[in-house]
Amino acid sequence: MNNKLLFFFSLIKIIYINFKVLPFKYAIKLPIWISYKTELISLKGRFIFNSNIRTGMIRIGFDGAGTAKFKATSIENNGSIFLGENISIGGGCQICTVSENSELHIGSDVKITSESHIISSKKVIIGNRTIISWDTQIMDTDFHNIYNKKSELLNADASIVIGEHVWIASKVSILKGSIIYDDIIISSGSIINGILKESNAIYTGLPIRKIKENVYWGPRFF
């Protein structure tokens, strides 16, 4: 199915989500495009734009690697999702804010390829010009609390911050409390649960370690 035909089949759902979550003056521009296969699990929360509103600036479920572009993406927004412009979220992804106090910030020129899961219980920030490859998990919570004998919580939620122009390769897990500075590459299959400060470097984990420095990737815009 070509993109024009896919858009035609998706038009009713596109109109629905825009007028459901946005004021009329913004909704009429149809800034959010979603595939007809996209599952709208919850739209209780807020969608907030951090840039000028234009048609089709957010694309959800239209792209993806291989057959993933034919899989349904799910949106569950119970909190607040802050959006830049030129954002592409591919097929098979999960986008979730868990509660009314949860925040998800996605900057401009961000591409999330396919079959990735981004779950915010507290706060997740993804900076401008960041690319997230397929089958990656970014989650700031364990969902199930763990206590010691004194009833003290041992695994509280902790925000995740991903800087600008970060390349996260496939099958990466970014765990709560992680901070990734600008211009960093995360190698495929890594588990990240710490702070990565040195830009223009490639990191892997677990354990987290730098495997190459003085590296640059591009283009800076896609």
pLDDT, residue 222, reads 42
Q: Domain range holding 63?
A: 3-213
193-220 pLDDT per residue, tens: 999 999 999 999 888 999 999 999 886 5
Q: Please, are residues 118 and 93 in contact by the beta-carbon 8 Å criterion?
A: yes
**Among 5-9, 85-89, 166-170, which is the least confidently predicted range?**
5-9
117-128 pLDDT per residue, tens: 999 999 999 999
Q: Please, are residues 91 and 115 in contact by the beta-carbon 8 Å criterion?
A: yes
Q: Flag whether 221 is in a domain.
A: no
- Sort 71 into a burial class: Cβ within 10 Å, 0-12 / 13-18 / 19+: middle
Q: Note if the pTM is more than 0.75.
A: yes
Structural domain total, the chain: 1
Q: Which residue has the tokens 């048609």?
A: 55
131-172 pLDDT per residue, tens: 999 999 999 999 999 999 999 988 999 999 999 999 999 999
Q: Flag whether 218 is in a domain.
A: no
Q: Flag whether 159 is in a domain.
A: yes
Q: Flag whether 220 is in a domain.
A: no
- High-pLDDT (> 70) share of the chain, %: 96
Quick count: other Cβ atoms within 10 Å of Cβ 146?
10
**Among 1-5, 39-43, 61-65, 200-204, which is the least confidently predicted range?**
1-5
Residue 116 per-residue DSSP state: -
Beta bridge pairs of residue 184: 201
- Sort 33 into a burial class: Cβ within 10 Å, 0-12 / 13-18 / 19+: buried
Q: Flag whether 168 is in a domain.
A: yes
Q: For residue 67, give the 3-state DSSP assignment.
A: helix
Q: In this structure, what CATH number is given to the domain that contains residue 153?
A: 2.160.10.10
Q: Flag whether 176 is in a domain.
A: yes
pLDDT, residue 19, reads 97
Distance (Å, whole) CA 22 – CA 20? 6
Q: Flag whether 222 is in a domain.
A: no
Q: What integer best gives the mean pLDDT of the chain?
A: 93
Q: Flag whether 95 is in a domain.
A: yes
Give the C-alpha distances (Å, rounded to integers) separating 84 from 2, 71, 91.
26, 24, 20
